Structure 1
Amino acid sequence: MKPIRAVPLSCGHYLPERVVENAEFEATLDTSDEWIRARTGIERRHFAADGELTSDLAIHAARAALSNAGIDGSEIDALVLATATPDQTFPSTATRVQAAIGMTSGFAFDIHAVCAGFLYALANANALIVSGQARRVMVIGAETFSRIMDWTDRSTCVLFGDGAGALILEAQEGTGGPEDRGILSTDLHSDGQYNSLLYVDGGVSSTQTAGVLKMEGQEVFKHAVSKLAACGEAALEAAGLTSADVDVVVPHQANLRIISRMAAKMGIPMEKVVVTVQDHGNTSAASIPLALSTAHAAGRIKRGDVMLMEAIGGGLAWGAATIRW
């Protein structure tokens, strides 16, 4: 019996209509467009409209991915949605998306690993397909981080944006080697001793409020470069590949300096790295699928390309995945 791979069928994304340029923050904060660009690479981001929910963003992205695949929601067996900004405490935001796309059977659930959430969701989707529990799985990252910002904190509120991206995976036979299409490896980590470096100061059992984001930026930066490079190399090794085999890197879009230093540490030229942080800001779990879909639509990702994805976020939680598109 030939091994099963989780092979990408299509992707799609959605960005809210409202675009917020850096200059907008100058009216209320001691900051400037030049300051934000120099430290982060961010030029603008999108914010959800009043009444526009995380599920709304996810539904748009899901429908785009379905349209690009030429299938409908009833052909999806499982839906895994990564988010740190759900519509409700329960039930899962994924079930709202399930209903909206006409997915009438199977199952849907949320995963919460903040900025690493999409990779955690991807690893779960891969396991569902390889184990035979699902044939087609939709993986979504969707966030409305504008709802948990402290608008007086210039070090954090200028960094984040809202958006969603979706990827559809399908079970296909492979050989078990690195020449296969599909997910070749995943590498996940977390370390709870770093909880206080990046967190939200609210919660159901603690404050009964949503809270706002708090971050020790310099400390997160230091962890990010080394941990992303290490897990990226581990994922490639597990797939039987090296950095030289990588055609495209789709990293978490948090900070241009983190992205460029990670690439340099791994010996990967920046022309192979997808960078969308300038237009989207940090969209947490939506970051990778949003960048993936944007790059794919622009023709940067071709069938057979070896792709490395990697992300780090609150927890700290981090990970990487190797995929042959």
Structure 2
Amino acid sequence: MLLSLAAVLVGVVVLVWSADKFILGASGTASILGVSTLVVGILVVGIGTSAPEMLVSAIAALDGQSGLSVGNALGSNITNIGLILGITALLIPLSVQSKLITREIPLLLLIMIAGYILVSDGVLDVLDGVMLLVGFGLVVLRQLWEAKHSRGDILEKELEKEIPKDITLKAALGWLVLGLILLVASARLLVWGAVELALLFGVSDLVVGLTVVAIGTSLPELAASVAAARKNEHDIAIGNVIGSNMFNLLGVMALPGVLSPGAIDIGVVNRDYPLMLAMTVLFFIVACLPKGNGRITRVEGGVLLAIYFAYTAYLLVDTGAIGGA
């Protein structure tokens, strides 16, 4: 048990560190090569913060642990909204000012509804995976278009401060390669440890993916969102969560369908996905509708956090991870 726990802890620590260096290298390289600020911020950094989820899910799917893959994708999204936005808003109330961000939240909601339709039959097959990957490609193209036509948006001004400017191409490429290598290695270690823990505690790999692995792979988003909020860059803090959730649903969820197609746990359809959808609706109401005034207050952050902890406690008790089966 100690070896498995150590593998998970070391895997998470190295995963978080290597994701940060991978993003540094990728964003620095793209910026030096003349890629626009919005493209770097929205796509390069967005995909970079989802790289841990993608690699963990790909490795788990290849190992036949599709439950871990699916749990990682959904659990990361639940963690992003409940834990990350909740903690960030509790520390610093957030306000949405970017028109680009307010257009992305309804799109995220539509993607979630489409994803639920695909998995509602209890099966995630190759066709589902391919459709999600096509959606991923369409979202990337749409975001490229948005980046080209949204010049002057407040998000661009916030991103301008964050994208590294004092880095050489050689250093950026070095961090990019090192980060990618360590991402793969730490993801491999994390998956092994997580599967071993699931066997030891007698719970499914889905539950481990929804909890331990989801928190571990979402730590880069937590660090990025809190840091951005402390600098009064609220749209970056919120944008990190939105972009990550889109890529998790379309990119990460596609991997078990393509690499290890088959039936999924009924709890995904009846419990986990509906909760993720409900939390996203709540996020939409608070951040986008006029009544919400485009703000996520400390009270609303506390509500999101409470929902997350209540769900996690219920999940662990219901599946026998706490208190026995």
TM norm structure 1: 0.29
Greater share of residues in helix: 2
The higher-RCO structure (CA 8 Å, 6+ apart) is 2
Greater share of residues in strand: 1
TM norm structure 2: 0.29
